[in-house]
Structure 1
Amino acid sequence: MQNKNHELHVICVNLLATLWDYNRVGKDAEDGDIEEIISMASKSDLADQEKQVQENIHSQITNFCTFMDQILLPESKSHETTSQKHSTAPRPSGLSLAIGRNAPPDTKFEIPETKPLTFAESCQRIKDLMGYTLELKPSQIPHEQAGQGLFVDGEADVGSVIALYPGVIYSPAYYRYIPGYPRVDSQNPYLITRYDGTVINGQPWGTGGETREPWAHSNVYRPNPSEPPSETGSDRVWKMLSKPLEGSRLGFNGEVLERRNPLALGHFANHPAMVMEPNVMVCPYDFPLNEKGMRAYIPNVVFGGVEEVKMKRFGSFWFKSRGESNDGQMTGPVMKSLALVATRLICNEEVYLNYRLSNSKRRPSWYTPVDEDEDRRRWS
């Protein structure tokens, strides 16, 4: 499965790099220009494409954070740029506030002063600055289980970051702490998995909020207490491999996050119905945690702490590895999040994301594969 996920990741990175090359050329690009873009993208090195994708996503999110500062911070502070705050602001870092062994249980949070704007007002202001925002309303999918849909209000060009996927991030080492484990998806439709196995649970975020506040929903960060521990063979192996983790502090003290985040609604994107086509795709975004001035606008917290953990795979299980990286280089701490990126121009319409559900399990009645062959290749 890891090889299949890697292949899918390569395809997605290539497509994203192509989309942004096309976006730079503009809407008036001729057929010859498009063919040259596709040819150049297919010949580019994967590492270069991944770097291009991350830089593009980060640039867009940096602009978004700067706009949000203009909208929410008092006039005396709104002239500061995000990069200036990164280098000068004496605010607590995301690392000091996150889950971890060194986080004291009585952490006090410094909550910066913000304007008394509502979530709806913040959405309208970001639309004025970016040209689009998001809203929730009844889905246009003709199925009784469709519920709320995610809609773009305004116009977003191809390659635009449409939404961020909010919630709690679980690395493979902490899967057993996902609520409902091991049947984590039975009562929770807001789970999504990155190509590298990182799982994001969007359920605790809900629809956001009306303040900037320490986000600490401690009840969703524990194993399910109602289920007695199972002693199947696989569970015993899991228990053995996870034992070093039990000594780690898993308490959660919260981080100061902006709940009036207009883009933090990616978990409401529906899968397209028959004859409909997806108009966004998922893009892994590794947010650099040294960008402290932007941290409040990244709607995620990491279960188990934000320190980088090297993992090794044993069958279907993962455990901590103390080994050195292949290149021996140390990298800064990042938070492994996800963004939804437009694959075409989106104008005042619902957002559709291809869920790519496994064909090895019974699919829900509302699910229609976008590409059955692709799903078969991925899950075979």
Structure 2
Amino acid sequence: MAFLFNKFQEAIRTLAKNPKFARDPRHLQFDADVNRLFLYTSYYRLGEHSEEKDAEEIIDMASKASVVDQQKQVQGNVHYQLKHMCQAMDSILRPDIKNDPSQSPSDTHNKSRRSGLSFAVGTGVSSANKPVVPATRPLTQAELSNKFRDQFGYTLDIRPSGIPHKDAGQGLFLSGEARVGAVVAIYPGVIYSPAYYRYIPGYPRIDACNSYLITRYDGTVINAKPWHLGGETMELWDGSHLVDYNSTPSTSPESNSDRAWRMLNKPLVKSRNENFGEVLERRNPLAFGHFANHPPGGSTPNVMICPYDFPLTEKDMRLYIPNITFGGEEPVTMKRFGSFWFKSRGSGQQTGESSVLKTLVLVSTRSIRDEEIFLNYRYSSSKARPEWYTPVDEEEDKRRWS
């Protein structure tokens, strides 16, 4: 198996330099990332008993298939893993349902949908219209995490980072062993499309008091701060939080122009009828991607970001996807002009498309065993970087923000 992995690694180094799909540096980096994810996740799906000819076939596909086709395969590979993970958590948390053929998990989920899972919830909504939360075993988050490890071979822990820096804070640790190409974490939280940027807490300086924000290549922003550590039960979660972003002190000095900009650009507040809620499993043992630290100098990342569009048609899995879309699940088409985003004509879902949650997962780039998870933050070189930040690849950082 080690021999096959070395072949994959050599293919990744070679194909990453191939600009045949690129239109500009930013697309070049995106294409290279898709190419790597295609190889890693396909390698994982081959299994531990794959043969050399299987690996060679995948490497050949990676050199010939279009980026669009590779993206589709990556989505399929990630979905394959997550589906098995969700089934494992169902078997741990809802064994009575599994043993009772009259009540399958899908039946129960559909009942909760009919009872109001997609309804807006708020202080003015009667309890009769609120979703029914399916019964589960009264396990703590730690107990669920340990049982998940027994089935999947790994789980996640949050504890003080091993990075020798005063600002390192908490770190994300993998307990057990994960193979190359494994989905090791999900990035939880509230999803903001460009149409709703002004609703992000703290707008326009959204990152001044929040280090748990991440942006996909398509401009989607995910705010993990409201999720934080999850919870100890399955519960209705509408993306709300207890953090006052305006009262949280900034880590950097604010100039007069910053204060003026903040006064003129107040964040918008969502109305009551936009307060959508979903029943989510807040004990999710994988929903900690926001605690992954950037690698310190002298070390390298062991995971990489992978955009994952979760299809909302998969109702049995929805409980375990720790994300809420701000503004509801109706898609809004946006176009970018310079630094600004505008709604385009024909906004909304196109014929034949299905609704998705635009999420992120972390995929392992090598075998990981009982160690801290490190993710390349790829901070822009055009802005001041924290003193603890050591670039992993300066060229990648430039391409990412070009």
Task: Establish whether TM, by shorter chain, passes 0.5.
Answer: yes
Report what 2:282 is aligned to. Answer: 259
2:323 match: 300
- Spell out the pairing of 1:203-222 with structure 2 (5 A cutoff): 203-218=225-240
**Could you say which residue in structure 2 is the equivalent of 1:69?**
90
- The reply to whether residue 12 of structure 1 matches residue 30 of structure 2 is no
In the alignment, which of 34, 50, 60 is matched to residue 71 of structure 2? 50
Gaps of 5+ in 2: 1-22, 249-257
Question: How far, CA to CA, are the matches of 1:375 and 1:147 in structure 2?
Answer: 24
Alignment of 1:89-100 (within 5 A): 89-92=110-113, 96-97=117-118
Cα deviation for residue 173 of structure 1 reads: 0.7
- Of residues 115, 136, 139, the one that matches 2:161 is 139
Q: How far apart are the structure 1 equivalents of 2:372 and 2:224?
A: 19
Gaps of 5+ in 1: none
- Aligned 8 A contact 2:179 2:368 in 1: yes
CA deviations over 1:28-70 (Å, ceiling 9, x no partner) = 8798976664343121122221111111111111111111111
| CA-CA distance at 1:210 after TM superposition | 0.4
Pick from 368, 374, 378: which aligns with 1:352?
A: 374
d(CA) in 2 for partners of 1:186 and 1:55?
36
1:376 deviates by 2.1
Report deviation, 1:88.
Answer: 7.9
RMSD of aligned Cα (Å):
3.6
How far 1:19 moved relative to its partner? Answer: 1.5
Query: What residue is the counterpart of 2:43 in the other structure?
Result: 22
Whole-angstrom CA distance in 1 between matches of 2:187 and 2:162: 21
- Report the counterpart of residue 184 of structure 1 in structure 2: 206
Q: In the aligned structure 1, how far is the partner of 2:393 from the partner of 2:309?
A: 28
Read off the aligned partner of 2:63 and give its amino acid letter. Answer: S
Q: Take 2:80 and 2:102, find their aligned partners in 1: how far apart are those partners?
A: 13
Deviates more, 1:81-90 or 1:155-164: 81-90
**Residue from 273, 277, 289 that aligns with 2:300:** 277
Deviates further, 85-94 or 140-149? 85-94
* Deviations, residues 218-260 of structure 1 (Å, cap 9, x unaligned): 457999699xxx9999x99x99xx9xx9998763142111111
The equivalent residue for 1:152 is 174
Q: Aligned AA for 2:342?
A: F
What is the CA-CA distance between 1:7 and the residue it aligns to? 3.0
User: TM-score, structure 2 length as denominator?
Assistant: 0.81
Q: CA deviation at 1:323?
A: 2.3
Which residue number in structure 1 is paired with residue 223 of structure 2? 201
Match of 1:119 in 2: 141
1:310 aligns with 2:310: no
Q: What secondary structure does 2:319 align onto?
A: helix
Cα pair 1:109 1:256 within 8 Å, conserved: yes
Is contact 1:178-1:222 (8 Å) kept?
A: no
Q: Note the alpha carbon deviations across 1:110-133, whole angstroms, 9 max, x for none.
A: 001111100000000000010100
Q: 1:88 to 1:123 in 2, by over 3 A?
A: closer
Assess if the C-alpha contact under 8 Å between 1:65 and 1:82 holds in 2.
no
Give the counterpart letter for 2:332 in structure 1. V
Q: Is the 8 A contact 1:118 1:210 kept in 2?
A: yes
2:362 is aligned with 1:362 = no
Matched letter for residue 114 of structure 1: T
Q: CA deviation at 1:272?
A: 0.2
Instruction: Supply the distance in 1 between the matched residues of 2:273 and 2:169 (Cα, whole angstroms).
Output: 34
CA distance 1:65–1:27, shift in 2 (3 Å): closer
- In structure 2, do the counterparts of structure 1 residues 335 and 316 end up closer, same or farther at CA, with 3 Å as the change threshold? same
What is the match of residue 311 of structure 2? Answer: 288
Query: Could you tell me how far 1:77 is from its partner in structure 2?
Result: 4.0
> For the structure 1 residues 172 and 80, does the alpha-carbon distance in structure 2 shift closer, same or farther, using more than 3 Å as the test?
farther
Aligned twin of 2:191:
169
Check 1:222–1:256 CA distance in 2 against 1; reply closer, same or farther (3 A cut). farther
Is 27-36 or 332-341 further displaced after alignment?
27-36
Instruction: Report percent identity of matched pairs.
Output: 54
For residues 242-283 of structure 1, the C-alpha deviation after alignment (integer angstroms, 9 at most, x for no partner) is: 9xx999876314211111100000000000011111010111
Out of 105-114 and 160-169, give the one that drifted further.
105-114
Is residue 301–residue 375 contact of structure 2 (8 Å, CA) maintained in 1? Answer: yes
